[in-house]
Amino acid sequence: MNSEILLSINLQQQLFVDPKRVRLLQAIQQFGSINQAAKNCKISYKSAWDHLENMNSISPKPLLDRNTGGKNGGGTMLTSYALRLLQLYDLLAKTQQKAFDILQDEEIELTSLLSATAKFSLQSSARNQLFGKIINLHQQNSHCLVEIAVDNLALPLYVSITQKSAVRLQLVLGKEVILMIKAPWLKLHEQQSNEINCFPSKVQAISEDQEEISIKLGNTIECYASVTQGHNYQLNQEIWCSIEPEQIILVTL
């Protein structure tokens, strides 16, 4: 769906940047001249100067680097901060468009920023992506065992990461996380195992080469698992699936 979303950013309750001011900064970046930028944007030099003055007056850092005189008559360049501002504005505009796009897909829940963001922007080679919330953090020397309540899964999943990773991810109770698990990391058993993270499952589909199956993890969540050589599974067969805590990748905002 074609849509136009006009992004404006206010600082100190005043307009900082909007599409018109962004175009002006982009033109200055291109031409190295406020006068040429104003002509390109089809506004007067005074109007361009007023916009720049208003922006600079509330900007945390200078936006322009002006050189007067010199061999080429001087000019105006954007500071590194202004260049980063243009990059950030472009990212925010793309994010807004992506956010609007998910409005069309009623299967995507809008109650969680993490899950919504994952649906429209996160891409990974790990086909199994589960959503949950941290319910406990167990310290184990240099490692942290993270206990996670996963949506539609009766029992919690345990993920083992280093203490440094737990700090870097700012893990706290109640924080939303995504658990990424590659298909080969799911271990299949015909009988219940004593391993941690072991769940009853049921075979839903089998690939033509019989190297991968689709299962219902805990009889509720669809997952993909690789089949080791010599194992033959049947549709609707009840099996057990286990996942080692070290073979789960945690993602969060």
Indicate the number of domains in the chain: 2
Domain containing residue 190: CATH number: 2.40.50.100
Which of 39, 68, 103 delimits the end of a domain? 103
Q: How far apart are CA 14 and CA 31, in angstroms?
A: 28
Position 42 in a domain: yes
Residue 1 within a domain: no
Q: How far is CA 50 from CA 26, 38, 56, 61, 189, in A?
A: 16, 11, 10, 17, 71
Enter the DSSP assignment of 108.
S
> In this structure, are 239 and 135 located in the same domain?
yes
Domain of 46? 9-103
One domain, residues 89 and 117: no
What was the pLDDT predicted at 129?
87
Co-location of 144 and 73 in the same domain: no
> pLDDT (tens digit, 9 = 90+) per residue, 31-60?
999 999 999 999 999 999 999 999 999 999
Q: Which residues of 41-62 are buried (b: 16+ CB within 10 A; e: fewer)?
A: bebeeeebeebbeebeeebeee
Q: Are 59 and 16 in contact (CB under 8 A)?
A: yes
The residues, ordered by sequence, that sit 6+ positions from 240 with a Cβ below 8 Å of its Cβ are: 188, 189, 190, 191, 192, 193, 198, 199, 200, 201
The pLDDT value recorded for residue 229 is 76
- Whether residues 127 and 45 fall in one domain: no
Q: What is the pLDDT of residue 193?
A: 81
Same domain? For 121 and 245 the reply is yes
Supply the DSSP symbol for 153.
Answer: -
Residue 233 lies in a domain: yes
pLDDT of residue 72: 44
3: in domain:
no
Which amino acid would we find at residue 130?
A: L
pLDDT at 118: 63
Quick check: is 174 in a domain? Answer: yes
Can you give the CATH number for the domain in which 59 is found?
Answer: 1.10.10.10
Shared-domain flag, residues 151 and 186: yes
Q: Is the separation of the CB atoms in 196 and 246 below 8 Å?
A: no
Q: Are residues 158 and 247 in the same domain?
A: yes
Mean pLDDT, each 10-residue run in order, the chain (253 residues): 75 93 95 94 95 95 78 74 93 77 70 65 75 93 94 91 93 93 92 88 91 88 88 90 93 84
Q: Tell how far CA 225 is from the center of its chain.
A: 25
Domain assignment present for residue 170? The answer is: yes
Instruction: Say if residue 37 is in the same domain as residue 148.
Output: no
Same domain, 25 and 98: yes
pLDDT of residue 100: 75
Same domain? For 118 and 195 the reply is yes
Give the three-class secondary structure for 183: helix
pTM recorded for the entire structure: 0.63
| Statement to judge: residues 142 and 198 lie in one domain | yes
Q: What are the residues whose beta carbons fall under 8 Å from the beta carbon of 38, sequence distance 6 or more?
A: 24, 27, 44, 45, 47, 48
Of 85, 103, 121, the position where a domain reaches its end is 103
Specify whether 182 is located in the same domain as 84. no
Whether residue 2 is contained in a domain is answered as no
Q: Is residue 212 part of a domain?
A: yes
Last residue of a domain, one of 70, 103, 136: 103
